[in-house]
Amino acid sequence: MLRPLRRELGRLSLTVLAGIFAGLAFDSLALGLLLALAAYLALGLRYLAYLYVWAEHPKRVDLPEPGGLWGEVYERLIERNRRSRKRKKQLAEIVAQFRASTEALPDGAVALGEHGEIAWFNASAQAMLGLRIGQDTGLRIPNLIRHPAFSDYFERRDFAHEVEVPSPVNDDITLALKLIPYGSRQMLLIVRDVSERKRLEAARRDFVANASHELRTPLTVLRGYLEMLEPEARREAALAAWRAPLAEMRAQAGRMHSLIADLLKLARLESDVSSHRHELLDVPRMLARAAEEARVLSKGQHRIETEVEPDLFLVGRESEIQSVFANLVHNAVQYTPPGGLIRLRWHGDGGAARFSVQDSGIGIAPSDIPRLTERFYRVDVARSRASGGTGLGLSIVKHALEQHEAALGVESILGVGSAFTCRFPAHRVQRKARAAANE
């Protein structure tokens, strides 16, 4: 048995003995025993009362030190109380530090419950989203940020990406919102002000578009004169020395012209074109045209095959989709040695659709594949230049596909060939009987 308990039992035995002796001395054993037990009980009650008062106001009242079992109980309770107070203080300090650090964050942070109800937010989130302390806590975040892009993003719980929406308090401010799951079902909404980046991007886009536009006019004049001079140089013996330089100047001017045309195309694709009209495109007809262009370019040096589902149509913008086809087909011809095979395919894939260009060409090393869609990226600069490439073709393809929620896939083996595949989502694909399509 525990030592304090044993000692307490000893005390009780002594009290009982004292009661017995006193009872014997006064000739009333029962009275002696009763008095002794009453005294023992009264003492116990007193200590219990102390404990009660202390439990009510542990900070204001000090417990006595009675020794014995009560003393042990008091000591343990005081120790436990001291430890829990210390832990509470440490926790409060951690919470205060956490709050202070998140308050200092330039990014907004909103802690959300399972259904998007606001549990807590920092000062930046308050300023950027116009949240009100007290009033907005507990409200669902989609009810406060009502932009359709955010509602859609929130419903999909698309934790891998972020969404850009105008700030609910100021339309001139663009916010990037990202949901991060944590705990069992909670989410953290991180809010960043990306207005400056958007402004810079717009400025860069405008600059490229304006510069290209400005360069186009003088270049057109130069090309015109060069074109006029070349036949002259061929006819006139006096101008014989100019023949080669003139041809070179014309080729270089042609290259600059293609570059400017591609830069303008990219700038147009990058600017907000969401308002432009999408229509039902007769992809089989467009592909027939692309294959024809490829044959002209190949000058009969390649075998060009097409495998097209004739009733498969696409909702999109014709000029952009045509430039996707033209660029991919053009590349296949350029980067496939004579005698090679080029296969164009357009087919359904579940509800979605795929367009692919497969060639038996020089192929691309795995390390180059992720970089192909970067502007001006070429695996072999000299070869690309020699074939009239601008290094912008695949950037244009990527942007045009993004405008159609489509993705580009590249598979290639060096020396064996490449396959470029465009995957279009189901909502852009329609089946249509040919006769009806030709109406």
Secondary structure class of 306 (helix, strand, coil):
strand
200: left (phi over 0), alpha (psi -120 to 50) or beta: alpha
Residues 317-346 within binding reach of ligand ADP (CB under 6 A) = 327, 331-332, 335
Position 269 contacts ligand ADP (CB under 6 A): no
Least gap, CB of 346 to ligand ADP (angstroms): 17
Residue 380 engages ligand ADP in binding (rule: CB under 6 A): yes
Q: Are strands 303-308 and 341-349 parallel, antiparallel or unpaired?
A: parallel
Please, which of residues 341-360 interact with ligand ADP by CB under 6 A? 359
Q: Which region, judged by CB under 6 A, interacts with ligand ADP, from 146-154, 165-173, 310-318, 387-395?
A: 387-395
- For residue 28, the cross-strand partners are none
Nearest to ligand ADP of 122, 395 (CB atom): 395
Q: For residue 179, which phi and psi values (nearest 5 degrees)?
A: -95, 135
Counting contacts by CB under 6 A, is residue 227 touching ligand ADP?
no
Residue 389 sits in the site that holds ligand ADP (CB under 6 A): yes
Structure tokens at 276: 């432009």
Distance CA 278, CA 425 (A): 15
Q: Check binding of 372 to ligand ADP (CB under 6 A).
A: yes
- Residue closer to ligand ADP by CB (options 128, 372) is 372
Q: Is residue 361 at the binding interface for ligand ADP, with CB under 6 A as the rule?
A: yes
Q: Does 405 bind ligand ADP (CB under 6 A)?
A: no
- Spatial neighbors of 190 by CB under 8 A, at least 6 apart, are 107, 108, 109, 177, 178, 179, 180
Q: Could you tell me which stretch among 49-57, 295-303, 312-320, 388-396 binds ligand ADP (CB under 6 A)?
A: 388-396
The smaller minimum CB distance to ligand ADP, of residues 163 and 392, is found at 392
User: Is 378 one of the binding residues for ligand ADP (CB under 6 A)?
Assistant: yes
What is the distance of C-alpha 396 from the center of its chain?
23
Does 391 interact with ligand ADP (rule: CB under 6 A)? Answer: yes
> Is there binding between residue 364 and ligand ADP (CB under 6 A)?
yes
- The Cα–Cα gap between 96 and 260 comes to 57
CB of 263 vs ligand ADP, minimal distance in Å: 12
- Between the alpha carbon of residue 75 and those of residues 48, 82, 367, 423, the distances in Å are 14, 10, 71, 74
How many angstroms separate the first and last alpha carbons of the chain?
102
d(CA 374, CA 392): 8
- Give min distance, CB of 273 to ligand ADP, in A: 21
Q: How far is the CB of 414 from ligand ADP (least distance, A)?
A: 9
Q: What is the spatial distance between Cα 262 and Cα 52, in angstroms, rounded to a whole number?
A: 86
Is 384 among the residues that bind ligand ADP (CB under 6 A)?
A: yes
Q: Does 33 interact with ligand ADP (rule: CB under 6 A)?
A: no
Residues that bind ligand ADP (CB under 6 A): 327, 331-332, 335, 359, 361-362, 364, 372, 377-380, 384, 389-394, 418
